[in-house]
Amino acid sequence: MKRKDSENIRSRPNSGSPLKIKHGLLVPYVMLLPAMAGLGAFVVYPLVFLVRNSFTDRSMLRKNPRFVGLSNYVELFHSQEFLSVLKNSLLYALLFVVFSIAIALLFAVWLNKPDRFHSFAQSAVFIPYIVSFVTISLVWLWLMDPQYGLLNSLLAVFKLKPYPWLSDVKTVIPSLVLVSVWKYVGYYMLLLIAALQNIPQSIYDAAKIDGASGRAVFLRITIPLLTPSLFFLLVVSTTEALRVFDPINIMTQGGPINSSSVFVYFIYEYAFKYFRIGYASAGGVILFLIIGILVAIYFNMLAKKVHYQ
Partner 1 sequence: MTSNLRQLTSKPISTVFKSLAYLALICIFIFPFFWILSNSLKTFQETMVFPPKVFPEKPIFSNYVEALKRMPFFKYLINSITVNILILISQFIVIIPASYAFAMYRFRGRGLLFTLVLFGFMLPQQLTFVPIYLMFGKLKLLNSYAPLVLPFAASSFGIFLLRQYFMGIPTEIIEAGYLDGMNNRQIMIYLMMPMAKSALASVALISFITHWNDYFWPLVMTNTQRVRTLPLGVAALRVTDGTTEWNVLMAANMLLILPILFTYFFAHKQIKEALIHSGIK
Site residues for partner 1, window 92-151 (CB under 8 A)? Answer: 107, 117, 121, 123-128, 130-136, 138-143, 147-150
For partner 1, the closer of residues 12 and 206 by Cβ is 12
| Nearest distance from C-beta of residue 77 to partner 1, angstroms | 19
Restricted to residues 194-223, the positions that interact with partner 1 (CB under 8 A) are 194-195
Q: What are phi and psi of 43, to 5 degrees?
A: -125, -60
For partner 1, the closer of residues 49 and 206 by Cβ is 49
Burial 88-108 (b: 16+ CB within 10 A, else e): bbbbbbebbbebbbebbbebb
- When binding is defined by CB under 8 A, the residue of 199, 291, 302, 306 that contacts partner 1 is 291
| Nearest distance from C-beta of residue 62 to partner 1, angstroms | 13
- When binding is defined by CB under 8 A, the residue of 61, 157, 209, 303 that contacts partner 1 is 157
For partner 1, the closer of residues 18 and 114 by Cβ is 18
Neighbours of 188 (CB within 10 A): 28
Segments in the chain forming alpha helices (H): 2-8, 27-39, 45-54, 71-78, 80-111, 116-130, 133-143, 150-157, 172-198, 201-209, 214-217, 223-242, 246-247, 263-272, 277-305
- When binding is defined by CB under 8 A, the residue of 55, 173, 186, 222 that contacts partner 1 is 186
User: Secondary structure of 172-220 in the HEC alphabet?
Assistant: HHHHHHHHHHHHHHHHHHHHHHHHHHHCCHHHHHHHHHCCCCHHHHHHH
Restricted to residues 20-39, the positions that interact with partner 1 (CB under 8 A) are 20-21, 23, 25, 27-32, 34-39
By CB under 8 A, tell whether 45 contacts partner 1: yes
What track of x and - describes contact with partner 1 for positions 243 through 282 (by CB under 8 A)?
A: x-xx--xx--x----------x--xx--xx----x--xx-
Terminal CA-CA length for the chain: 46
Which among 80-88, 165-173, 182-190, 211-219 is the span making contact with partner 1, rule CB under 8 A?
182-190
- When binding is defined by CB under 8 A, the residue of 217, 236, 302, 306 that contacts partner 1 is 236
| Contact between 179 and 137 (Cβ < 8 Å) | yes
Q: What are phi and psi of 177, to 5 degrees?
A: -65, -40
By CB under 8 A, tell whether 46 contacts partner 1: yes
| Contact between 192 and 104 (Cβ < 8 Å) | yes
By CB under 8 A, tell whether 289 contacts partner 1: no
What CA–CA distance (Å, rounded) separates 136 from 288? 27
- When binding is defined by CB under 8 A, the residue of 89, 175, 229, 237 that contacts partner 1 is 229
For partner 1, the closer of residues 84 and 128 by Cβ is 128
Restricted to residues 69-88, the positions that interact with partner 1 (CB under 8 A) are none
What CA–CA distance (Å, rounded) separates 273 from 254? 14
By CB under 8 A, tell whether 160 contacts partner 1: no
| Nearest distance from C-beta of residue 203 to partner 1, angstroms | 19
Which among 3-11, 72-80, 83-91, 211-219 is the span making contact with partner 1, rule CB under 8 A?
3-11
Q: What is the DSSP letter of 151?
A: H
